[in-house]
Amino acid sequence: MATANDRAVLQTIFNPSTPFGDIPGLDEEEEAQEEEEAFALELLEQVRDLELQGVSAAESGDVSTALERFSEAIRLLPERASGYNNRAQALRLRGDVAGALRDLDTAIRLGRGCGRAACQSLVQRGLIYRLQEREDDARRDFARAARLGSAFARRQLVLMNPYSALCNQMLCEMLGRLRNPDGAGAE
């Protein structure tokens, strides 16, 4: 019997007068687990703080510091998608599109294609693909991000659809005529 619960049951069976909570070794296991959880939470807070510092640095134009903070966050928690997504943005600002795409691919893989970081990474990668005139790849990423809830990705899909864009233009013209039926100010 390996678990603490199994030992507690055996202790109760063989020593019925012992209170259930007084199992030797049970407190040490619980304390070790609590310490491990506290360490994980502390590490996560440290990584979040590094990412916030990186975002602030990038927003103030200090891309080098931003990259340092994001890379440190990734070093501490390499399985966290958010760090890769943030570093990709800084890499793109620096002009390293290939590096940004590598980090975005990693963020999407780590996020298993779902969650906030994956959604943001899909949008970001879709925008890069549009700039590279890889319309099919961009459309695919925007569609995935739209399914994850991104309103921006949905708008991009509409903009990329020529029929939809034409319908939107005609709808805007029609609404303009309804608002101004006498044609004053119309083209």
Say if domain 61-176 classifies as CATH 1.25.40.10. Answer: yes
Question: What confidence tier does 1 reach under pLDDT thresholds 50, 70, 90?
Answer: very low
pLDDT of residue 161: 82
Is 62 within 8 Å of 95 (Cβ atoms)?
no
What counts of helices (H) and strands (E) characterise the chain?
Answer: 9, 0
Domain boundaries, the chain: 61-176
Tokens of 35: 């310490």
Identity of the amino acid at 131: L
Query: What is the tens place of the pLDDT at every residue in 24-66?
Result: 555 566 666 666 677 678 888 999 999 999 999 999 999 999 9
Give the mean model confidence (pLDDT) for residues 12-27. 59
Q: What's the pTM value of the predicted model, to 2 decimals? A: 0.67
**Position of tokens 């807070």?**
45
| CA-CA-CA-CA torsion sign (141, 149, 104, 97) | positive
* DSSP H helical ranges for 15-134: 26-59, 63-76, 81-94, 97-110, 116-131
CA distance 120 to 117: 5
